[in-house]
């Protein structure tokens, strides 16, 4: 199914040429040559201006909304060791790292689907590690999660999917629910009348992901978690989804934790980057500072970006 983008969305067209779009395709010689060619000062500034809007500065009354402190986790073998990072209100922290380094595990810890062996996980200042199962269900309502596969309920229509958290946790009337669902679907640039009666299987990958975002934010969650939001999408849809995540942050001041291995979109939307390697966070800071790092691994990971 082809995806229609409404005309009121200029940023969906990325400013850079399309062949430049997917950084993970940078391999071999090209990656090597580009790695040793730092952008000139002017180029760098230009890029930053394009990629990151002016309102990406941290919110003035910033407070750590999401925080991990010295988290250790092991199943049969250690997965995370001494992982600490935080996201202030309105910030977007992107956790990057190679595949299989436990990035998604971090989201599961934040949702308390997993409990760390050691350390603290704070949501809105509340340590969620020792909560009971029922209390954890409560805390999860503060957060909206967007899954890698969108994870829409395939036995329900798009409308019912987005309405699900509202039906579960609010006393809204049917009319109010419909109004809210329409609002959220419009926010993610889908036509409510067209998609609401459709089943998830009828949608394209990008549309499914957008419905997933709409469902995640249906409860007006102030914290959004994204698991590989751009993986498996074409460059244009990747740009659309990245733009959408930034729009949520800009317009609704949502705090976001994004797990990704897509450096390009991570740098575009992240106010902070956390690089996970060898079970630890080896870098945590702004994208600009990350570019200036001399560390061999970080340079290699950025692959000249």
Partner 1 sequence: MLESAIADIGIRLALTRSTLRLSGFNEAAKKKVLSLQEYFVLSAKSIGFIFRRPFYTTDVVQQMDAIGVQSLTIILLTGFFTGMVLALQTSVQLATFGATMYVGRLVTASMIRELGPVLAGLMVAGRVGSGIAAQLGSMRVTEQIDALNTLGTDPIKKLVTPRVLAALIMVPVLTIIGDVAGIVGGNVIASTYLGLPASLYWRTVWEQIASGGFTLRYIPIDFIHGLVKPFVFGGIIVTVACYFGLNTKGGTEGVGISTTRTVVFSSIMILIIDYFITQILLAVL
Nearer to partner 1, 49 or 167 (CB): 167
**Number of H helices and number of E strands within the chain?**
12, 10
- Report how far residue 284's alpha carbon sits from residue 250's, in angstroms, rounded to the nearest whole number: 22
User: What's the min distance (Å) between Cβ of 214 and partner 1?
Assistant: 13
Task: Indicate the SS3 state at residue 63.
Answer: coil
Identify which of 96, 125, 123 has the alpha carbon closest to the alpha carbon of residue 110: 123
Q: Which is nearer to partner 1, 148 or 198 (CB)?
A: 148
**Residue 136 structure tokens:** 């954890």
> Cβ of residue 201: shortest distance to partner 1, in angstroms?
11
**Residue with Cβ nearer partner 1 (147 or 301):** 147
Nearer to partner 1 by C-beta: 75 or 133? 133
What is the CB-side half-sphere exposure of residue 142 using CA atoms within 13 A? 18
Q: Of 21 and 114, which CB lies nearer to partner 1 in the complex structure?
A: 114
Footprint on this chain of partner 1 (rule: CB under 8 A)? 108, 111, 113, 133, 137-138, 140-141, 143, 145, 147-149, 151-154, 164-165, 168-169, 215
| Residue placing its CB nearer to partner 1 in the complex, 162 or 290 | 162
Closest approach, Cβ 245 to partner 1, in A, equals: 17
Residue 272 to residue 183: CA distance in whole angstroms? 29
Task: Supply the DSSP symbol for 118.
Answer: E
Give the nearest distance from C-beta 71 to partner 1 in angstroms.
19
**Closest separation between CB of residue 149 and partner 1, Å?**
6
| Closest-CA residue to 48 (of 261, 260, 226, 270) | 270
Could you tell me the smallest distance in angstroms from the CB atom of residue 239 to partner 1? 24
Give the Cα separation of 155 and 203 in Å (integer).
Answer: 14
Least CB distance from residue 141 to partner 1, whole Å? 5
Q: Which is nearer to partner 1, 14 or 165 (CB)?
A: 165
Sequence-ordered strand ranges (E) for the chain: 64-74, 78-88, 92-97, 118-123, 126-127, 143-146, 223-227, 255-260, 272-277, 280-285
């Amino acid at each position: 199914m082809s995806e229609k983008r409404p005309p009121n969305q200029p940023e969906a067209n990325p400013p850079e040429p399309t062949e430049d779009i997917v950084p993970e395709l940078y391999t071999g010689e090209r990656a090597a040559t580009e790695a040793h060619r730092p952008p000139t000062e002017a180029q760098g500034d230009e890029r930053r201006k394009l990629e990151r809007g002016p309102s990406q500065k941290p919110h003035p009354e910033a407070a750590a909304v999401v925080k991990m402190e010295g988290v250790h986790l092991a199943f049969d073998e250690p997965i995370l060791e001494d992982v600490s990072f935080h996201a202030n209100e309105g910030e977007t922290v992107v956790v990057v790292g190679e595949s299989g380094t436990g990035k998604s595990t971090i989201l599961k810890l934040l949702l308390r689907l997993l409990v760390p062996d050691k350390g603290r996980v704070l949501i809105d200042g509340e340590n969620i590690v020792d909560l009971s199962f029922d209390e954890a269900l409560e805390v999860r309502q503060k957060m909206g999660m967007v899954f890698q596969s969108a994870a829409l309920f395939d036995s329900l229509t798009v409308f019912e999917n987005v309405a699900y958290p509202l039906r579960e946790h609010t006393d809204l009337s049917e009319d109010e629910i419909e109004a809210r669902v329409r609002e959220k679907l419009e926010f993610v640039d889908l036509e409510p009348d067209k998609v609401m009666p459709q089943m998830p299987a009828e949608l394209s990958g990008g549309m499914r992901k957008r419905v997933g975002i709409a469902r995640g934010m249906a409860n007006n969650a102030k914290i959004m978690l994204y698991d590989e939001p751009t993986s498996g999408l074409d460059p244009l849809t990747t740009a659309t989804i990245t733009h959408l995540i930034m729009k949520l942050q800009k317009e609704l001041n949502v705090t976001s934790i994004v797990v990704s291995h897509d450096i390009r979109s991570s740098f575009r939307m992240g106010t902070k980057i956390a690089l996970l390697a060898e079970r630890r966070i080896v870098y945590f800071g702004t994208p600009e500072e990350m570019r200036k790092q001399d560390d061999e691994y970080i340079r290699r990971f950025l692959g000249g970006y």
